[in-house]
Copies of this chain bind each other. A is one copy, B any other.
Amino acid sequence: MADNMQRARRNSIVHIAEQRQNLASLDSSIIDRLPSYSAALFEAKTAMRLTFEDIARALGRSEVAVAALFYGQARASPEDVARLTELLKLSPETNVAAQMMGFPDRGRSGPMPPVEPLIYRLYEIVQNYGYAFKAVINEKFGDGIMSAICFHSKVEKEVDETGSPWVVITLKGKWLPFSRF
């Protein structure tokens, strides 16, 4: 009988665990590098079991942009704040809302070179293919850069003919030619 109870309890933990396991949360050890509203937003997101996809849909924005906002790397518009406050049931008294509309102090969410394997792979692509991208872009566009400011990005999932999933990241930035002066 004790066994039954134990099995039941274990199943219940597994059940709870499974529900939570598809949600990105905030690693406690990087909180200090982020603006203080990051922790509040992630906590609410976790409590409400919302994915970035859910939140992006509610805000009419891209998932990448919304995740960047949670990490303090993008700015919320007043409308975003209003919707997030509603969706995440943030107390209007806290100054989370006001803070989210501050001008972000970008670029400090993680170390560079990245030590996180997923992020390192992106860095490695820049390291290995940087000059190749430059050469191809120069030939197609001339002398200039792809803006990282006037910029959109999205992440998609594709499944190939063998059933294997592929990650597809699109980086789209406005072309900025060097001024002649």
A residues whose Cβ falls under 8 Å from a Cβ of B: 6, 9-11, 13-18, 20-25, 27-30, 32-36, 46, 51-53, 61-65, 67-68, 70-75, 77-79, 81-83, 85-86, 92, 97-99, 101-153, 155, 157-158, 164-181
Contact, CB under 8 Å: A132 / B68: yes
Q: Choose among B82, B116, B128, B138 the residue that contacts A68 (Cβ–Cβ < 8 A).
A: B128
Q: How far is the CB of A94 from chain B (nearest CB, A)?
A: 12
Cα(A143)–Cα(B78), bound, Å: 13
A171 to chain B: which residues have CB within 8 Å?
Answer: 122, 125, 167-171
A176 to chain B: which residues have CB within 8 Å?
Answer: 147, 149-150, 176
Contact, CB under 8 Å: A29 / B22: no
